[in-house]
Amino acid sequence: MENYRLVPVVSMEELEMQLEALAVQINRDYEGKNPVVVGVLKGAFVFMADLVRRLSFPLEVDFVRLASYGTESETSGVVRITKDVEIPLKGRHVLIVEDIVDTGTTLAWYIERLREQEAASVKICALIDKHERRKVPVPLEYVGISIDKGFLVGYGLDFSEKFRHLPGIFEVEFMK
């Protein structure tokens, strides 16, 4: 990771506008429901923090950490929970907050698990939808940004645990 440059893709101002638009939709849809907002660690933590501060209804927050990539850049297809939610979800409305949805494999597996736990409803809010990479259909009710390609970092997204702190989203361009 020595020869690269970071190319701005989404500014913090653009992210703020998307957060406001998402909050309007989510506030409308969840009014009176007291949902559990489940952030998928680690990538979604910045996005989720900014999002929940814009929500105007009672809610609870929890986190899950799912592993399907290991040290590879492509999913293995085998999903493991390395940190599970602690709030009982039976009968609860669940809003999953995810950083990027690409192949959909991991998220589809987790949605099925939540249905087995008898959640009243499960919806997904994704910061970034990479629909072109989708291998498994996943219903995304709330999407901040659709981006076709590129290796993205910043605003919680990382490369080998680096760059999560950057304001805005950047594409990593590797130099030859």
Cite the active site residues. 102
> Is residue 170 packed enough to be buried (19+ CB in 10 Å), middle (13-18) or exposed (0-12)?
buried
φ, ψ (nearest 5 deg) of residue 159: -130, 115
Element (H, E) at 121: strand 121-129
The Cα 127–Cα 147 span in angstroms is 10
Residue type, 25: Q
Residue count of the chain: 176
The first and second tokens of residue 105, run together, are 């494999």
Residue type, 16: E
Torsion angle of the four alpha carbons 38, 108, 129, 6, in this order, in degrees rounded to the nearest 10? 80
Alpha-helical segments (H) within the chain: 12-30, 45-52, 105-116
